[in-house]
A and B are shown apart, each in its own frame.
Chain A
């Protein structure tokens, strides 16, 4: 269950947030959203693909952690703490909300900080405080506010990237057929990546435009990230071996 409320220093003066990583904190997911500015860090550890939102049909880039729902192989194999921590997970339990404020008689939407009071990271005893004893925000809260701002702009940028990729017909569906050491087969469907033939045939003007937007780098980061699938398979094989031995 989730309970999203606008964060304020009166009602929430004694709230704390646990900042360690782990399955108990909702990180047992098989992928999470990511965005171009983060691609360089993400591709060091995880494959990046594109996926459609089931409610809107819109594409968004994702970092992959496993082969099926709730399977985070990095977490399960105990190396999660050594990997890059994607902002979409690091932000929890905070999220961006919208508030309508009247400015000179005109209503404007402002971004405001919301918190999910039911999130397992939220505590009154453990973790770091959000507000200082005599007023003012804690460092954690200030950091979170700027992280969410980065994430917000990153998601806008991801949307723009997707628009460009679709316009240039640079996205194509991939079906990943994976055979594990024990013969088990996995098929991942519903993921998309860069069409390399189309990319190779782009003209100079288009390449220049992509480069100016910063998307040329993003495109190659996505391509480079594909080699991490091998690592995912290794982790899965390792896990199966351990389960057999255990």
Chain B
């Protein structure tokens, strides 16, 4: 049991596999851009040439900026190679109520935290102004600016720095190609294109080796399962139970299409646009060369044909009927849920091999980054150490999944939509923990004290943006200190002034991307 961890084998390429390889390699094989002369560990990635990648447009969180910077990819190169654009948050359309002729409701969940965070929770001071200004507009400069299509930075802003916080929209296929190239050429990761045919156990139950079609038996001290929904090692071989979540989050199908722009210079949306449907919702992601649009729905509530007609209707409405006629949709099956552990014996699952849920808050890549970072920074020297680290990582992993499920559910249960039983079914299946939180939030605004663990993926601010975007009613506070009311007022005013100033200076997303293609972003 006290054998050293030297050889790490990652099973599966795609974004999860290559991103994991890059994060571990950057931590252990590289210093200041130079490969370590005598690294203690080696990393091998096995990718089957027979398994196609899913390859639909994807969204990332702002954490991806730090991840890319850490693994040593220039932002200019990343944007140019991956058909990437900036994502400043999510815009939720028609979630609050069923749209009736011409009246649409929408709100934003921006990536920028409210003014005052972390010292001052400004939310109670906004409650009194809720009829005149939306929460997101009052507390963040990003809501109005991103909805108007402004970029989150200037051409003079250094790589990975920002005026307004952002993540990315990107072409997942191109992203994994860039990561693969970078891992092999710069980070010392070895690559084998081969198909895994079986898994061999050691006498103690650990995974001893995987057996491949061309290269035979490949042993390792630590296996990372990035094999996607099939969960080859963690699920199939080690039999870690899968905890299905379709009883809480019903969506289990998606139909995805790529929609061309009317013109090469058409405006690019600065947020993911998520438009609620009768039994699901439609994502709309703007890349520089095309949009990625998909309908995510519940097969229990809606047939594939009806889902497809709703997707066509949306595309026809936003891009024209002619465009809609040319689409060739790709169907994806989602098995909502996660495995009870991500780290079992000498195997860690990352990405869809660990779990998957609808992309409503684009949590998939964020979880890949989080998981890879955990194992990279806590990587024990010996197999024995792995068991100690595993219990810690598994606990946080479970907490993250529980929070993701609960936070996504929040988007549905506050809706007043009544155009399909789907929405009533959501309101009838509120998990107990969320029920308790909602009754508390009727009396007081969400604060970080409401969460039992510190390192949560969604801070209180995210709950505030969604709750008040959905017109949730928290009673006004009977007493607020006059000095803090003045402070809040000042922060509201400064925010409005910054918005007015930035409106006249920031480029549009399209303009900034054109300039990045011409000149690149400055490194400092």
Q: Contact: A57 with B155, CB < 8 Å?
A: yes
Contact with A along B488-524 (1 / 0, CB 8 A): 0000000000000000000000000001001111111
B155 cross-chain contacts in A, Cβ below 8 A: 54-57
A53 to B521, CA, bound (A): 12
Contact with A along B150-170 (1 / 0, CB 8 A): 000011110000000000000
- With most chain B CB atoms within 10 A of its CB, the pick from A53, A57, A166, A171 is A57
Q: Contact: B524 with A57, CB < 8 Å?
A: no
Q: Contact: B521 with A57, CB < 8 Å?
A: yes
> Nearest chain A CB to B331's CB is how many angstroms away?
43
Q: Contact: A56 with B524, CB < 8 Å?
A: no
Contact with B along A146-187 (1 / 0, CB 8 A): 000000000000000000001000011100000000000000
Q: Contact: A192 with B519, CB < 8 Å?
A: no
Interface size class of B (residues with CB under 8 A): 10 to 19
Q: Contact: B156 with A192, CB < 8 Å?
A: no
A192 to B524, CA, bound (A): 9
Contact with B along A104-125 (1 / 0, CB 8 A): 0000000000000000000000
A35 to B156, CA, bound (A): 21
> Nearest chain A CB to B72's CB is how many angstroms away?
13
Q: Contact: B523 with A166, CB < 8 Å?
A: yes
A192 to B158, CA, bound (A): 13
Q: Contact: A173 with B515, CB < 8 Å?
A: no
Q: Contact: B519 with A58, CB < 8 Å?
A: yes
> Nearest chain B CB to A59's CB is how many angstroms away?
7
Quick check: is A209 within 8 A (CB to CB) of the other chain? Answer: no
Q: Contact: B524 with A58, CB < 8 Å?
A: no
Q: Contact: A171 with B521, CB < 8 Å?
A: no
A171 to B523, CA, bound (A): 10
Q: Contact: A57 with B523, CB < 8 Å?
A: no
A52-B522, A166-B524, A192-B524 known, 13 other contacts, Cβ within 8 Å: A54-B154, A54-B155, A54-B156, A56-B155, A57-B519, A57-B522, A58-B519, A58-B522, A59-B522, A166-B522, A171-B524, A172-B524, A173-B524
Please report A residues at the B interface, Cβ cutoff 8 Å.
52-59, 166, 171-173, 192
Q: Which 7 A-B pairs have the closest CB atoms?
A: A57-B155, A56-B519, A52-B156, A57-B156, A57-B522, A58-B519, A57-B519
24 A–B contacts from the bound complex (CB under 8 Å): A52-B156, A52-B522, A54-B154, A55-B515, A56-B515, A56-B518, A56-B519, A57-B154, A57-B155, A57-B156, A57-B157, A57-B515, A57-B519, A57-B520, A57-B521, A57-B522, A58-B522, A59-B522, A166-B522, A166-B523, A166-B524, A171-B524, A172-B524, A192-B524
